[in-house]
Chain A
Amino acid sequence: MRTKSTLENYVFVLPAVLIFSIFYIVPFIWVCRYSLHDWDGIMPIMTYIGLANFKEIIQDKIWWGSMLNAGYITLIALTFQNALAFLLAWACDREIRLKNFYRVIFFIPPVLSEVVVGLVWQWILDGNYGLLNHWLSHLGFPNLVRNWLSDPQTALTTVAIVHSWKGFGWGFLIFLAGLQTIPRELYEAARVDGANAWYCFRKVTIPLMIPVAVLVAILTVLGTMQAFVLIIAMTGGGPAYHTQVPVLRILASMRGSSRFGYACAQGLSFGLILIAISFIQYRFSKRARQV
């Protein structure tokens, strides 16, 4: 009777465990295994080459260049995008008219797909027929007109700003939820004690928001470092590797040069780097909270 009941209970988790094992655990193991092999993905034979893929990654200039590009986009997301998100959340946290309207609008870019956002912005930023250049030349700034996405000087920053446009709504919602957990009495008590708005902001809001800010920072880093579909839609990684990012390189290793082993090694080392970064951020935040 008992064993029958236990077996019955397993039926509940069986579909989930099956799908998870086939589509998560097996690929996870395979990434580790293929990263030690040279394989084109088609031939039945693959050659064991030890750590040769990883040695090649260390010397792969395009790979590290793409890592720097992703780092640059992440830096802009961490500063510009998150500062914007926080300011908007802070503005909306007050008793303000149309608060809900803003909350709905700011989350529209995040619900759109990266393909839609990328292609619409590409049209707006088009060098010859784009609306931005049209406005610039008609509003008296013709010297600012350029091929935003195919000029090596502007391509990466332009992509980073569109990425921030698409992403700030996430940070906004999380910051707003965080701000709303701060008890109003704290502000009132500070005001009774004669503190001005700026003092309240520094001594009440900021310290209480540090854990939320760390969370947003970790999510931003993980999300932005791995972003690539928006870039496919806007520049395809060009001009000449100027907007390449790591996941785009992995896709290129797999589809472009049919080097599945190398693609897996790239994925594995990139995953380890991401885990290390979020771990460091987490430790850093713990220390910041103790101070």
Chain B
Amino acid sequence: MLIHLFLITIAATCLFPLVWMISSSLKTQGEIFRDTSLVPKVFHFENYYLAWQEGGFGRFFLNSIFYTASVVIGIVIVASLAAYAFSRLRFPGKNILFFMFMAAMMIPIPGSFVPLYILLNKLHLRNTALGYILAMINVGLSTSIFLLKTFFDKMPTELEDAARIDGCSKLGIWWNVALPLAKPVLAVVVVFNALTVWNEYVLALIIFDSRALMPLQVALMTFQGEFITRYPLLMAGLTITALPIIIIYLLMQKYIVKGVTAGAIVG
């Protein structure tokens, strides 16, 4: 009984801030400082319209979707190509290259955004979507290669052998045989990287100057800085940012649990 009480209390603490966020997003500017009821008397959904239109969150939302989709697609292709080669193909320097990616997972470089800023400036990729996407692909690369290679190592080779005998090229085997078989681990890679990109803040902060290119996380901080007291709109913006991630999490949570436990084994 005591155990249940403990678990329920903590679960409530996890959920309450989100409930309060949604509740605040449905109150008017006048109500929000006086009305502390959890369920507002009238649901002011127009806050979402205002945030989407005037607050510009519609634009920022689309930006976030675009960056997340591009980075995830990029990582799936680049990492699975490399992981497939590290697992199946033979070439000189293979072990050194693989070790290099693994070492990058272990070595923390705090403040790596400083040289990245300089680098993107020199390449004329700062304040561009491409610069941000490439930098973010690199962020997820090592872990994704590790997850995929571990999976390929355990995967039986019969189907690939059969495809080779049928005259399928190496790239063809990777695309037509290996990738479809790797679906379970690809789901982990997709979900984890999508979370990372959607929630990323500091690289986007230093890379983007133009408002039109900002993703949601940076836009929220900017909005909060400019309209410090417009809490209903801020809360609507926060809900717009948090809701997609919560929905994806609830739909895909078994892959997330897998990813965490697999990631823990790496460390």
Contact = CB atoms under 8 A, between A and B. Distances in A.
Given A30-B119, A173-B261, A219 B267 contact: yes
B199 A13 contact: no
B38 to A, nearest CB: 10
A226 B134 CA distance: 23
B21 A23 contact: no
A271 B116 CA distance: 16
Interface string B1-39: 001101100110111011011001000000011001000
A108 B115 contact: no
Interface stretch (A120-128, A151-159, A193-201): A120-128
Q: Size band of the B side of the interface?
A: 35 or more
A250 B90 contact: no
Nearest to A12: B85
B33 A129 contact: yes
Contact of A232 (B85, B114, B221): B221
A116 interface: yes
The residue in A19, A26, A131, A250 that gathers the most chain B C-beta atoms within 10 A of its C-beta is A19
A31 B199 contact: no
Contacts of A34: 114-115, 118
Contacts of B238: 116, 119-120
Contacts of A173: 257, 260-261
A291 interface: no
B109 A28 contact: yes
Contacts of A102: 7, 11
B256 A111 contact: yes
Interface string A129-156: 1010010000000000000000000000
A10 B81 contact: no
Given A12-B85, A12-B89, A113 B198 contact: yes
Contact of A111 (B3, B11, B171, B246): B246
A250 B238 CA distance: 27
A24 B118 contact: no
B14 A106 contact: yes
Interface stretch (B40-48, B96-104, B153-161, B180-188): B96-104
B50 interface: no
Nearest to A90: B3
B91 A6 contact: yes
A73 interface: no
Contacts of B134: 19, 22-23
Interface in B108-123: 108-119
Contact of A267 (B82, B110, B224): B110
Contact of A264 (B11, B79, B115): B115
A257 B248 CA distance: 40
Contacts of A114: 199, 201
B253 A104 contact: yes
Interface in B46-95: 77-79, 81-82, 84-86, 89-92
A76 interface: no
B250 A16 contact: no
A16 B119 contact: no
B114 A264 contact: yes
A15 B217 contact: no
Interface of A: 6, 8-13, 15-17, 19-20, 22-24, 26-28, 30-31, 34, 41, 84, 87-88, 91-92, 94, 96, 98, 101-109, 111-117, 119-121, 123-124, 129, 131, 134, 165, 170, 173-174, 177, 215, 218-219, 222, 226, 228-229, 232-233, 246-247, 250-251, 254-255, 260, 263-264, 266-267, 270-271, 274-275
Q: Lowest 9 CB-CB distances: which A-B pairs, in order?
A: A267-B111, A12-B85, A113-B199, A27-B115, A23-B138, A16-B82, A250-B111, A30-B115, A9-B89
15 contacts: A13-B82, A16-B141, A20-B100, A20-B141, A22-B119, A105-B14, A105-B15, A108-B18, A111-B246, A119-B238, A120-B235, A123-B20, A254-B206, A267-B109, A267-B114
Given A219-B267, A254-B114, A267-B114, 19 more contacts: A13-B82, A19-B141, A23-B116, A24-B104, A27-B109, A31-B115, A88-B10, A96-B7, A106-B10, A107-B260, A108-B249, A113-B242, A119-B220, A123-B21, A124-B20, A165-B13, A173-B261, A271-B107, A275-B107
